[in-house]
Each structure stands twice: as structure tokens, then as C-alpha cells.
Chain A
Amino acid sequence: MLNSFTVASLCFVSDTLYFLCVSEICRCLTCVCVFSGSKACVRIQIKGEKAPELLLELQDDDRTRLFLTQVKSAQRQVASKLTKPKAMEPLAPTPQRGPGPIPPQRAAKTPSAVGVGENSANTFSALESSLNDSTSTNHNTTDPAHMLADFGFEEKFNNTQRVEEKKNKQNRMVASREPPPIPPLPPRKASVPPSNPLPPTPIPKDKPTAVQARGNSAVPSTKSDSFRSGYDGVDKPASLCESPTTKTMPSSPSGQREFLIKHCLGKKEKEYVDIKHFSFFVGTWNVNGQSPDSSLHPWLCCDPDPPDVYAIGFQELDLSTEAFFYLDSSKEHLWIDAVERTLHPKTTYRRIRTIRLVGMMLVVYAKKLHRKHIRDVAAEHVGTGIMGKMGNKGGVAVRFVFHNTSFCFVNSHLAAHVEDYERRNQDYRDICARMTFHLLEQPPLNIVKHDVVIWLGDLNYRLSMSDASEVKQLIKENALKKLQEYDQLTHQRKHKRAFTDFIEGDITFVPTYKYDPKTDRWDSSGKCRVPAWCDRILWRGSSIEQLKYRSHMELKTSDHKPVSSLFKIGVKVADEQRRKKVFEEIVRAMDRMENDFLPSVSLSNINFTFPDVKFRQLQKERFLIKNDGQVPCHFAFIPKLSDSQYCKPWLRAEPSDGFLEPNETLEMYLEVYVSKDSVTLLNCGEDTICDILVLHLDRGKDYFITISGNYLPSCFGTSLETLCRMKKPIREIPIEKLCDLGEDTFMEKEKSKVTFLMADGASSDDIPLKIPKEVWVLVNHLYKNSCDQEDLFQTPGLQEELQSIIDCLDTSIPDSLPGCNHSVAEALLIFLEALPEPVLCYELYQRCLDCSHDSRLCKQLISQLPRAHRNVFRYLMAFLRELLKHSTNNNLTASLVATLFASLLIRPPPNLMSRQTSHDRQKAIDFILGFLMARDEE
């Protein structure tokens, strides 16, 4: 279960993170997880274009199955994202959503396509939270002893603990078939502190307490290291299931950036590092289960100058069954104490890390002054004993980065017995394959991924000579060269069977095995072992010079003699000044790239003028929008802050949003059309042909498009009162006057009319017209010409004729109108429909419905209408009754006329429009019908 994060993060990492790859437009990675099950475990194979192929094994239990379900569902989601058209997905290293100032009501219009990264990040967090839920329940089972303590360097290395947790989560990773990926590395940062912060590792009272490194203030217990010894194969799955989960959030964008920077810095390393030399003391000793009984001074302190780093390996530290089965060893502390007593006295050292697996122990120290240059410390162990698992044979390793050079020290104890060199080769290969370090924010690292690898230990290679006395004779003659011809390790290396690319210095010391304990005498036991160079130190990497390679005969504690090597190693040391410069260049380049990859378009025109806009007359302007950026872009017109629509009601952009590939051009149209809904405000001057459209690019800038023009007012959409006060065609009346005319509410009009007409001065007649002249012209024309017109009001007019009728009414007081009867009839209908206040005023709408059953009440109601409305109503009714007299010719019926005119004359107020029922409509029709059936009165 706990590997879930690793696996999950790998899935998502591949999907979301690489898109930032330097200067290359990246492809979305596919991540394939192959699940296969067997009785005991479930194998998960992860492949990615850039991720290493990984094979994980999980125990087949409930939690695993839950995890698999989650991974599979996540996988499906990723797959569904990947099938989306790529064109819709920004390739640029740009933010996911339009950044910055909240553009006017931008949020209102969510783009249909969202970046893949965003989606999968969401998916991930969903997955993550569910995972956390399930893991948080079992964190109580965590044994503090499982947590690896880190040694010293609290603040520097306090993340190692998290690394360990993470590592524990990960199942044993069988050797990658391919080398780990080259950076950019998938960020696997823990972006949120663990939900249950780890308690400091407690030091159990009944256990040996921590060994204090000299001068080191706080060294946590080595307990956890001890715990790790023993059954390698058993130990790991246990910790795997129990260690607490650190929340990992691999896809935080700043994490991506961080990694890209790191990657670029790595690539440009040469520009800012200098090679500086440091001395490394490497020692190995098989102590044969003994406790230290003499000073280690002759071994560890034999050089005049203190080395910068000590790496000291022991084998057979503890041969007790206790160490073997209970993973615990008191010897560890004895030897560490002994070592720390004898580190070079001329300087102070800090312990960097200790790791032990049964009898194998590796401890690394560095000069105090170097501690701040050492980071990414990790330790691992691999057991290769019985069944390829037990920890009596195998290796332990510590890795770290010193300045800019990575180091890996491996201490191994390989298979014994003269004839078993092939087993030793196998052990070596197993250690290489299985030794994997887990660091935060980095893919797993194996041994060969380090700049410098130093391999020490009781490698157990013997001499291919069976006669011990012959060997001893050659040693006595100091014929070491001759003897080395029989050395199995040299032989195996030559035949590329093991340690192929390692280097070993000339051996100038006598074999270090096997002596009678406490003496320098060769083994005198019954077995009478043939002497051999079991204890060796090899290296690989550049800039490494071996200064000393020697044994230390003075130490007689064991049946082995300790061996040591002094190296002078060239370490890449960054020049802060130059590094900063390179760093800044990288950041600059990334900024530049980000700016270059912002979406951008060019518009062929951004100022549009629509001259002489008229009612119901469409005007179109064409322009081109071209994606002149480097990434596909989504554009949309967005509403300005206070608006709900992106433009005024008389304007439309076609299309109002869309996608453009780089270099793609699209034709756009702006259409101005004044309909009955927008005509009134334009007529009275409250609105003008003037607007600014905001064309927004998703994740990018906004463009302003300016619309201007002039509007020619129309009698259509002008109130009956206003029209009654106009003695001249509307176009001849100055716009300011039109505003004044429209201002009065119908209740006040009677009072104001006198003033108006006086002020107008255009007419000597100060009485407003009884009905608008336009109504009269239209009705009179129909009355004169179309009473017998077949299908009157049932045949649509012609648009062009309608336009000239409207023009004609707006500009003149014609005696007759152009166009056919049907066009004039429709013009009348449009006129009535466009009236801002219907003939039957909104205010009286409800009463009108209520009294529709009673013709007397209806008439009463009409008499209460404002004058112009009342007159127009009566005038129209009279006209319609006249028309119905000709119904044999014009095919009109009372109910048809009533239905048509009821919908125009009796309109529900806008706020009630949606609540109008068919019953209401019928009442309105009845209302009109009552008047149509009445006898002529006026």
C-alpha cells in the first residue's frame, strides 16, 4: 500500500512534469502500468518515455488491492486526458489559467479545455487524499525503531528521515533494466509536511544508548540502524507496510521549475566548478566477532595529516546469534567508540552516517568544516546470504554528495570458501543490482550512478593455490607479484566476471588472511588456511589518486589484518560567484521562454465604425484573428466587470470564442443589428453605438476592440406619447429633443405637453396628435388598399420593402407607403411589437385579464388608458372590425385577428413574461375579441 505514492507519483510525474523540458516542446508522456498477479504478490511494471522502467512487487493483501484500484482509476483518468486533442493543450511552460488581474468577470466563462497538468494534478490530489485517509489509520502501528536515525547534521540532514520513510514506502525495487533517467528529474517533493509529524526517535532505556560523535551535539540513536540488520528480505516488507506516509505532491509547478533549474545547473556545471583535492581515508577490517582490545591508532591514524573524510568498514563485527536473529548488536557501539577515539586528533570530525547489516558495518566521518558541503546522505544494505536474503553476507553502503561530486562507499562481505569465487562474483553483481538509494525529489540511484565509488571489504577472493606452505614460502621471499598471479579477484576482474570497471592499486602488502588471533602467525589451526588477500579496496571514477594501499600488521585482534587506502580525490567545488551567474542565466532563459510561450494573436483591425445604424438593418464587419504566438490558444470575448454579457445587445461577435493553432487565421465577424429589444434605448439616446469588447486569451493577454458608429432613430420602438408629440418625422428632430420627448412618463404627459410644444416651437399647434401619425399612415394605407387583400396578416412581408417602409416613416409623412400590402401589414405588426410600452399599458395588464369576461369592464378599462394609448387602441379596433367585414376576401377571422393582436397589444410586463400561462393568453384574446365583436361606436 505504501508504495502507492511512489507509483502514483511516477504516473503523474510522467504526465505532468516534463512539459517544461528545456526549449523542446515536449510530448505528453505515456505511462504504462502493467499489473500482473501471482499468489503471493502483485507485480507492477511502470514504463514511461523518460522514467526508468520499474518493476515493483507488492504483497497481495487488501491494502494492495485498494491501492491498485486507485492507481488503475488514476491511470484511466490520465488515459482519458491523453486522448483529448493535443491541439487543445498548451505546450508552453505557462500557467494553467489566465493569470493576474482578475479580468472583468473572467471567471464567469470557464474555458472548455483545461491543461492536462491541471487536470491530472486534481486527479492526483484526489487520489492523494484518499490514500492519506487510508494510510493515516495505520500510522499508529509504526514502530519508532523503524525510523532511521540520522547522525549529526540535524538541520542539514533532517530530511533523511523523510527519505527513509519514502524509501520504506517503496517496495524493493528490482534493478532497473535501464539506467535511471537523466534529469530533468521528476520532482517528488513532499509539498506538505507529513500529516503526522514524526516524533523524534526515542531512545529506549533498555537498549544501548546512542554513541556521541566527538564534538557533535546531538546524535540520535543508532538503534534504527541496528534494527535494520538481519533478514533483509523479511525486514523490508515489514517496514514497507508500517512506515508512515509522507504526503508527496510531485507536480507543484514551482517544483517543476526547481527541477528544471537543477537540471540546467547540472548541465552547466563545468562553467562554475573547480576541481579541488581532498584526502579520503578508506579502511576495511574483518574483526572476526572480536571486541576492540587495542587502540586503532596504527590503522586509522597512521598518516601525518588528517584526512578530510574517513570511510571505515568492518566485517564479522558480531558473530553472535543475537546479531543474526535479533538484529541487535552491542559490538557496534564498542567499535564505533574505538574508531571515534582514534580518528586523527589534529582535527574534529563529524559522523555522517553509520549503517550495519548483521556483521557488516560502514561508518563515514568528515571533517567538521566540510559538513555544510555534504548533502543528500543516504545509506542502504543488501543481504546476499542464505537464500540470497540473509544478512551474514552482502553489502552496506553510504552515499552522499560532497560539494558537487557524488560519492558512494560500499562495504561488502562476499561469499567465503576458496572454490566459491563464482558465488562471490554473484554477490557482487547482486549488490550492484539491488543496492538502491532513495532520496527525496530524485529517482532511485544505484551504485554506478555516482561520480566516485569506493568498494571496500572482505571480498573473500583467495589464491588459487592449494598448498599453504608454498604460498607462505613465496610470501617469505616477498614474491608478492608472483603470488598475485594466483589472486582470484585479479583473475575475475581480468575476465570481466566481477568488479570489471573498478581499479585496484598495486598490492605491496602481504596477505591479510589468515592469522592466529593475537599474533602475526599464519593460521595454525587444523584447517591451515592458505593465506589470501581477502581484504581489498577498489575504486571507480575520475580524478582519483591512490596515495597509499597497505595493511596494518600491528593490529592483532582478528584473524584478518586491517587494510587501508589513502586517496587524493578531485572534487568539483562550485564557485559561488560563477554558480550564481549561471543560475541567473538559467532563470533568465526560463523567463524568456515563458514569455515567448505566452499565447498571442494579432487582429487585422481593432477599431470598427458602423455608420448610420438603423432599426432592423444588419451591418457586418469582418476581421481576421491570427495566432502569432508559439502555442495554441483559446480566445473568447469576455464580459467587462459590471456586465453579464460581453457586448451590448445590438452587437454580436461571430464566433465569440474559439481555438487557434499557431499561425492559424480565423475570420471573425462583428454584427450590429438593432432589434425591438435594443431599439428603445438607442432611440431615446440612452444608448449609443459605442462599445469596447474584451478579447481574452486563455492564460494570456486581453485585447480591446472598439466599436463606434451612429444610430438613426426610428419611430419604431418609440413610445406612443413621444410620437404623438412629434409633428415632424423623427429623423428631423434633434437627438437632444428626442431625449426630452421620451423623458415624461405617460401620467405626466398631459401636464408637460403644453410646455413641450411651446418650447418646441416647431408647430403652432400646441395640441399633441390624437394618435401617432405613423400609426395613422400605416393603418390608413391598409384601410385604403388592403381590406380585400387575400391572406392579409398571414403572409410575411419582404425584408427590403419593410426596410423602405420603416425609412419612409422615419423620414417623412407619406401619403402612401412603398411595398406590397403584406409588407405594410407586417410593418404595422412590427411597430406594435417594438413599442416600449404596449398599447395596453403594462400597468393595466392584470386588470385587463381579470375583466376580459365582461365587455363593460373592458371598455371601462380602455377609457382609463393614457390618451395616446386609448386612441390608438380604439383606432385599431375600428380598423380591425372594418377588416373583418371583408373576411370573405382577406380570409381573416375574428379569432385569428384577436389572437394576433392580443399578443401585440396586451403584453405581460417583462418581469411576468415567463409566468404567462395559456389561460392568460386566452383571456387576452377574449379581451380583444370582445371589441372586435362589438358594433362600431366612434
Chain B
Amino acid sequence: MAKKTYDLLFKLLLIGDSGVGKTCVLFRFSDDAFNTTFISTIGIDFKIKTVELQGKKIKLQIWDTAGQERFHTITTSYYRGAMGIMLVYDITNAKSFENISKWLRNIDEHANEDVERMLLGNKCDMEDKRVVLKTKGEQIAREHGIRFFETSAKANINIEKAFLTLAEDILKKTPVKEPNSENVDISSGGGVTSWKSKCCS
């Protein structure tokens, strides 16, 4: 028996240094696939994926950003309105981890105040090349009061879990809708107009 569902649209954003695997994380989650060739994201891309949480169908619209330094000023302008931000570093790249605090500051400055943040240490399948200890990641996450996962888009470790956890955290914050008010439905197409008016106003 089909139960009545109320679609929600959550907008998530992936940020972090260039080459840490943001696009791969997204690709793994949306298409359950992995591509080894590195193509730097020059711009802003997004994919959608519908998940079911607490009996609600939730549409995640996940934005992938260019990580290159030269684009930072531009990409920060996309933070506004994101309900969840995944901050990704590469456990085999110390610099990407050092930059985490800079990224966190960026979030503070440019994102919505109530944005749900999450820290991901990606490429955890490459244990032999690890330079950032897991405890380091855990520590900085704890300091900022955010969740942390070590993930691998390649080996499909924790990717789904991370997204679902982030979505769940956002859902917890989302005010409970009247079961009858079907107009809480947010465009399945994820039009910015609809969600702007409903979520960022």
C-alpha cells in the first residue's frame, strides 16, 4: 500500500582542495561508480539523488565545486543557501588537511548560519600513502563539533553512510510539517525558486 510521502529537497555542497576526490565522492553516491581519470572540476556541477529517511522521500541535490585555489572567491558565493556542506580532504595529502581550517572559516563567513557541516577524509583505501592520521581528522571534527568519516569513493567506503547521516542531521532540524499540508512539497525538479523561497528565506 503506497504511503503518502512528502518530498523534501536538501541542498548539499561539496568543498575542499583540488584533487581530494569531491567529484568522485559525488559520482560514487549518485551513480555508484568510480572513474580513475582525474578531470578537474572547472565550475559548479550538481547531481540529484532521492533517499528515503524516516519514511520520507528526500531529494538530495548535491553540488560539486571547483577546488582550485583560483576559484575560491567564486565558489564561496555558492555556499549561501546550502543546507549541508561536506568538507573533504585527502588523507594522503597533508596540505589538503591543513587547509581544513581555512575551509571551515570560509563556511563561517559565507554559508548559512545553521548549515550542517561534515568532515570527510577521503581516499582511506590508500592506507600505505596515508599522511593524515584518522585521529587528526577526528580531533579537528570534534573541535568544531561536526561529524567525521573516513571515506573512499574508490572502495565505496562510508560514502552512502556519510550522505545519509548528513541528510538525517538536516532532517532533524527541519521543522515537522503538518501531515496534511501537501504544499510542503518542494519541487521534485529542485527549482531554485521553490527552495529558495521555502528554505532560505
Contacts and interface: CB of A to CB of B under 8 A. Distances in A.
**A and B are partners in one complex rather than unrelated chains:** yes
Interface of A: 93-104, 106, 118, 189-193, 249, 252-258, 262, 265, 372-373, 375, 403, 574, 584, 587, 590-592, 594-595, 598, 606, 640-641, 692, 694-695, 699-704, 706
B44 interface: yes
A694 B191 contact: no
B190 A100 contact: yes
Of listed A252, A372, A574, residue having the most chain B CB within 10 A: A252
A10 to B, nearest CB: 19
B185 A574 contact: no
B61 interface: yes
Contacts of A256: 188
B76 to A, nearest CB: 8
Contacts of B79: 101
Given A104-B77, A193-B180, A249-B183, A587 B44 contact: no
Given A99-B190, A706-B42, 17 more contacts: A94-B189, A95-B192, A96-B193, A99-B191, A100-B195, A102-B80, A191-B183, A193-B181, A252-B185, A254-B6, A254-B7, A254-B188, A574-B1, A595-B48, A701-B44, A702-B44, A704-B74
A701 B81 contact: no
15 contacts: A95-B188, A99-B46, A99-B190, A99-B192, A100-B11, A101-B81, A103-B78, A192-B181, A253-B188, A262-B2, A591-B50, A595-B31, A700-B46, A703-B42, A706-B70
A97 B186 contact: no
Nearest to B66: A704
Contact of A257 (B7, B42, B43, B46): B7
Interface in B47-97: 47-50, 52, 57, 61, 63, 66, 70-71, 73-74, 76-82
Contacts of B191: 95-99, 118, 253, 699
A97 B182 contact: no
A372 B187 CA distance: 30
B196 interface: yes
B46 to A, nearest CB: 6
Nearest to A705: B42
B30 interface: yes
A587 B30 CA distance: 12
A95 B190 CA distance: 5
A859 B175 CA distance: 75
Of listed A254, A692, A694, A699, residue having the most chain B CB within 10 A: A254
B45 A701 contact: yes
B interface majority secondary structure: mixed
B13 interface: yes
A100 B192 contact: yes
A102 B191 CA distance: 11
A706 B73 CA distance: 13
Q: How large is the interface on B (under 10, 10 to 19, 20 to 34, 35 or more residues)?
A: 35 or more
Nearest to A98: B192
A257 B74 contact: no
B35 interface: no
B11 to A, nearest CB: 5
Contacts of B190: 95, 99-100
Contact of B50 (A191, A192, A590, A641): A590
B5 interface: yes
B198 to A, nearest CB: 12
A17 B70 CA distance: 43
Contacts of A641: 74, 76-77
A591 B50 CA distance: 7
Given A95-B190, A254-B7, A189 B182 contact: yes
Nearest to B13: A101
A695 B44 CA distance: 10
Contact of B71 (A99, A191, A372, A692): A692
A308 to B, nearest CB: 17
Nearest to A194: B180
A592 B46 CA distance: 13
A102 B79 CA distance: 8
